[in-house]
């Protein structure tokens, strides 16, 4: 019973480490979500790796052209049609960067996501390397 308690605690700690972190400590300074890139550079230095990515946001706006075509034959209405001439999905590109900090084999690797110049997410990876 005692061994299963330790396994449960270790599994819980593993889940905590693999989740998104709320803050990062660089020297004596705490870096939080919402901080600007310049603040992170000032206190943490240059990242080991920078990955630039783009996602596309679908606004859901569709354009359609309605053409009411009325065909008259022998004084009677044959048809009234609605045609969809274009179905353009409007995609908005969202550019962001992921900075990776490797603080060595005794600390965890941190992946920082910046959107519009501000820190939006901090993720923790495994232990770093020298």
Domain coordinates of the chain in residue numbers?
17-127
* pTM for this prediction: 0.63
Kindly provide the b/e burial profile for residues 17-27, where b requires at least 16 CB atoms within 10 angstroms of the residue's own CB. Answer: eeeebeebebe
Tell me the pLDDT band of 18, cut-offs 50, 70 and 90.
very low
Please report, for residues 84, 93, 107, the alpha-carbon distance to residue 22 in angstroms, rounded to integers and kept in the order given.
48, 27, 16
Would you state the pLDDT for residue 86? 43
Each residue's pLDDT tens digit, 59-68: 876 555 444 4
For 73, phi then psi, to 5°, come to: -135, 125
Torsion 42-40-54-16 (CA) sign: positive
Residues forming a β-bridge with 115: 96, 118
Residues forming a β-bridge with 114: 97, 119
């Amino acid at each position: 019973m005692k061994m299963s308690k330790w396994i449960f605690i270790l599994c819980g700690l593993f889940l905590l480490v693999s989740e998104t972190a709320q803050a990062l400590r660089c020297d004596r300074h705490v870096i939080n979500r919402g901080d600007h890139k310049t603040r992170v550079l000032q206190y943490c230095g240059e990242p080991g790796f920078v990955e630039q990515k783009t996602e596309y946001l679908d606004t859901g706006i569709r354009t359609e052209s309605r053409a009411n075509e009325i065909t008259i034959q022998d004084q009677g209405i044959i048809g009234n049609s609605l045609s969809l001439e274009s179905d353009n999905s409007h995609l908005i590109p969202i550019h962001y960067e992921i900075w990776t900090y490797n603080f060595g084999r005794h600390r965890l690797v941190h992946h920082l996501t910046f959107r519009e110049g501000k820190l939006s997410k901090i993720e923790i990876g495994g232990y770093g390397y020298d």
